[in-house]
Chain A
Amino acid sequence: MAFLQLKGVEKMFGALRAIKGVDLSIEKGEFVVFVGPSGCGKSTLLRMIAGLTEIDGGSLQLDGRDITRLPSSKRDLAMVFQSYALYPHMSVADNMSFALRLANVDKKIIEEKVGRAAQILNLTPYLQRTPKELSGGQRQRVAIGRAIVRAPKVFLFDEPLSNLDAALRGQTRVEIAKLHRDLGATTIYVTHDQVEAMTLADRVVVLRDGAIEQVGSPLELYDRPANQFVAQFIGTPQMNVVDTAKLPALRAVVGATGAADGYIGVRPEKVMVRAAGTGQLAGRVELVESLGADTLIYANVGSNGDGSGVQLVARQAARTELRPGDPVGLDIAPASFHLFDRQGQAVALRAA
């Protein structure tokens, strides 16, 4: 039996079925990330696990106990909110110890636990300050500290980094990963940022329109996406997905191994830019993005100069002198295709 088990969990907002029967098992100690575009229901699902949003159908079990109808206060879960949701009238120490004080834990033990959490999170000098006197990053750490001191069964994170600036976000992401490694606590983390999902998760749950699209380790999702949505959601820049009808030349490159009709997907790093006149496909450069470590080359393929072609993105480490308008050749790395049928479902590659 899994540690946390969702069975056919449903949520209705009026007539709208916001969460459509989600089944999911989470093991003890796992770091699971819910990811998906905005409005996919990932936060709603997290709030349902937290008990902040009522579950309208299905069941939720934690550690062998049915908690579907249990109020949040009795679920023994801790949550870190996007807005931090610190108690503005309490000091940092009081914020972190609130749950323990409610539970009438001995004062000595509280002091010790808060002290240790503060040390882990570098908050010791700020314990007597109020949240107002802290920076965004520090507030975020207090919110995490508030969760840590309780040693709850599951940590829930609701887009905890989205209010931080880019540099701090990366830094805090690393800290959260380290924290999970050190504490080994079961964690569910919601984000719309697929980089966070890829870097933090043991397993990623990709959601769309209130239903799970795919569950798997980050690289499983990257290498073997179950459908076109997952294929394009995971990875930057997006996977090139081309309608076979629009670019017969690509179909020829794939050869007889592919589905006759549908979509062909290729990751940008599997598209190689060659000199004009060579390579499997001929195209014309539309845009070059030089990011330093990476260079992205957007090429239009299969057009007769009327813009009717298909755009393919190539990603390479080497820098380039190419300018928009330059003719280029493109090679596709062998056995790097993803095939999707007309419904967007992945189709197995048959050996050539």
Chain B
Amino acid sequence: MKHLALILRTVAAWLVTLLIVFPLIWLVLTAFKTEQQAISIPPQLFFTPTMESFAEVNLRSDYLHYAANSVITSIVSTVLGLAIAAPAAYSMAFFRTRKTRDILMWMLSTKMMPAVGALVPIYVMAQTAGLLDSRTALIVVFTLSNLPIMVWMLYSGFKDIPPDILEAARMDGASVWGEFLHVIRPLAMGTLASTALLCLVLSWNEAFWSLNLSSSRAGTLATLIASYSSPEGLFWAKLSAASLMAIAPIVVVGWFSQKQLVQGLTFGAVK
């Protein structure tokens, strides 16, 4: 009986996993098909893989240009976000007032509003500032939209550091910067790393703002993908090839930092 339950559970787990991974697998398969194979019915599971779509994508659009935009916007917004969120989280974790909780809740509540709600004002602001289709606009918007989550993550990580240790550092002659560099940074390394990683992934995958605020000049890989769902119809193979190229870097980064990420998220639990 127990054995059967285990089997059923395992089967269920595999089914759920397959359900989650299937689109990704299908994406990879489609990317190596021709356009005809991609739309053929019944769908082909076995075919001779071709790089045709990749070549076509590279021919039609400058992948590296979009990739560079993605790299720059996500890295700069992550660095900028950390620079703003870390001091904010520091003061909230170590100099609590009665309003600290409210401020944190308010920050989080800004993420509950649909982004479209802020589209028009932000678009107009970017236009007025002459920043439409610029990386600056994307960096600013990415940073702002990630800040609440970053502050929250860093805040909960910092909160686990006993304040006595910071006071000891202060008594030992450490400035605020010294405290951060020598005590908080090493003790909250996991939190800092996982926060940065999450912010990087969120910025990289961000589509709404990059589609609305940028096009050919500052467009990120998200806009590159979107350009393959054109009015002339969907080019599934090319769309898949572009998507695969767009997500590949972040998947690789995520894969290698998986261990750090998990460690970072559980670090605080082990004292």
Contacts and interface: CB of A to CB of B under 8 A. Distances in A.
B187 A72 contact: no
Interface string A143-161: 0001000100000100000
B169 interface: yes
B173 A87 contact: no
A72 B186 contact: no
A103 B171 CA distance: 12
Interface stretch (A25-33, A78-86, A164-172, A187-195): A78-86
B183 A87 contact: yes
A83 B164 contact: yes
Contacts of B169: 87, 98
Contacts of A120: none
Contacts of A150: 172
Nearest to B186: A89
A52 B169 CA distance: 11
A146 B172 contact: yes
A85 B172 contact: no
B33 to A, nearest CB: 52
A71 interface: yes
B62 interface: no
B175 interface: yes
* Range, interface on chain B: 10 to 19
Interface string A51-92: 110000000000000000001111001110101011111000
Contact of B168 (A71, A74, A85, A103): A85
A81 B163 CA distance: 11
How big is chain A's contact interface, by range?
Answer: 20 to 34
A81 B173 contact: no
B162 A50 contact: no
A102 B168 contact: no
A245 B183 CA distance: 61
A71 B168 CA distance: 13
Interface in A114-147: 146
A310 interface: no
Given A87-B183, A89-B187, A98-B182, A73 B175 contact: yes
Interface string B167-185: 1111111110010001100
Contact of B173 (A85, A88, A102): A102
A79 B173 contact: no
B183 to A, nearest CB: 6
Nearest to A150: B172
Given A85-B167, A86-B168, 5 more contacts: A72-B170, A73-B173, A87-B182, A88-B187, A98-B182
7 contacts: A50-B167, A52-B167, A81-B168, A87-B165, A87-B169, A102-B173, A156-B171
